[in-house]
Amino acid sequence: MHRRNILWGAVSAFSAAFTVSRASAAGDVAPSRKLKVVYHLADLDKVSFVLGNIQNHYDGVGGPHNVTIALVVHGQALRAFHSASANPDVSKRVGQFSKAGLEFAACGNTMTSQNVTLRELLPGFVAAEHGGVVRIAELQSQGYLYIRP
């Protein structure tokens, strides 16, 4: 009986080692999946911080071709993106990020409450007609990872 337990333990250990070895080898040759991330921005005082996080994200992964990022803006934060009153740094970053393929979505409900249209926002925005939180949920259902700094 003792020999059977020793034999069974040896077979189990060999099998586990073989499985780990195969998984490691598969991980080395399998192509990495391009991450998709949605940033959620609602606080006016966090606009520069979030835009900085997005830049750091691009820098950290080697550029926008290695990650897909969306920014959903609602609440008071949307005021920072009104083209008539936007900070020049915010305008510059939005332009750069738009060229890099970042999706800027403005909450339709917030646009209505602030009485602002897409034409009055910085170029590159699309309207999240059903609301910012609905857009975030849609993106999450498509595999986007959620970040709210």
Per-residue confidence (pLDDT) for residue 33, from 0 to 100: 79
pLDDT at 17: 42
The arrangement of strands across the sheet holding 103-107 comes to 125-128, 103-107, 67-73, 35-41, 145-147
- What is d(CA 115, CA 73) in angstroms, rounded to the nearest whole number? 15
Predicted structure pTM score: 0.78
Confidence at residue 22, expressed as pLDDT on a 0 to 100 scale: 44
The number of angstroms, rounded, from the C-alpha of 30 to the middle of its chain's C-alpha atoms is 22
Burial of 107 (0-12, 13-18, 19+ CB in 10 A): buried
pLDDT at residue 12 in the model: 43
**H or E, element range at 82:** none
Mean pLDDT by 10 residues, the chain (149 residues): 48 41 43 86 98 97 96 98 96 96 97 97 97 98 96
State residue 29's pLDDT score. Answer: 39
Closest CA to 89 of 37, 56, 125, 47: 47
Dist. CA 72–CA 53, nearest whole Å: 14
Check residue 92 and give its pLDDT.
96
Domain locations along the chain: 1-31, 35-147
CATH topology for 35-147?
Answer: Hypothetical Protein Ychn; Chain: A, (3.40.1260)
pLDDT at residue number 2:
54
